[in-house]
Amino acid sequence: MKIGLLVNEGPYQHQAADTAFQFAQAAIEKGHEVFRVFFYHDGVNNGTRLATPPQDDRHIQRRWTALAEAHGVDLVVCVAAAQRRGICDPDEAKRNGKDADNIAPGFRISGLGQLVEAAIECDRLVTFGD
């Protein structure tokens, strides 16, 4: 089946970012396609490449990047939610006059249309949040 995920909670906040990742991994292991993970609200903080958690802790952001690289999962960050929280890619940084970008590899910034498309395209859409 084609499965879409919506993540509304930031990393290390409560548990949604972890549950969503474990779910995505289990779905892929079972042969399903994780079509897209859409990060919304504080969930956009999953997409920064500047996080440095303690070495003995899981690296939530890097784990998503690895999932995208290994299985071609489309990781999409909501542009409006990202702008509010200081998550930007090179284009957004330039457009908004910022001196740096911080999007993690495998993530891309786009709009809510991507969430709507995932809801239409996927057989199931599962929401994880706080």
Partner 1 sequence: MTVLHTVNKSPFEKDSLDTCIAHALDGSTVLLIEDGVYAATRGTVVEPRVRDAMQRMNFYVLANDCKARGLGEDTLIDGIGRVDYGGFVDLVTGHDSVQSWL
Site for partner 1 contains 32 (CB under 8 A): yes
Q: Write the Ramachandran bin of 16: left for phi over 0, alpha for psi from -120 to 50, otherwise beta.
A: alpha
**List 5, 78, 122, 125, catalytic entry:** 78
Q: Does 120 bind partner 1 (CB under 8 A)?
A: no
In the complex, the smallest distance separating the C-beta of residue 111 from partner 1, rounded to whole angstroms, is 22
CA-wise closest residue to 50 among 21, 85, 78: 85
Contact region for partner 1 (CB under 8 A) — 26-34, 61-69, 77-85, 103-111?
A: 26-34
Shortest distance (Å) from residue 63 CB to partner 1 = 14
* CA dihedral of residues 90, 93, 98, 103 (deg, nearest 10): -70
- Quick check: 13 binds partner 1 (CB under 8 A)? no
> What dihedral angle (degrees, nearest 10) is formed by the CA atoms of 19, 23, 29, 31?
-170
Q: Is 129 in the site for partner 1 (CB under 8 A)?
A: yes
Q: What single-letter amino acid sits at 128?
A: F
Cα of 69 vs its chain's centroid, Å: 13
Is 122 labeled as catalytic in the residue annotation?
no
The catalytic residue positions are 78
Binding site for partner 1 (CB under 8 A): 1, 3, 8, 14-16, 19, 22-23, 25-27, 29-30, 32, 123-130
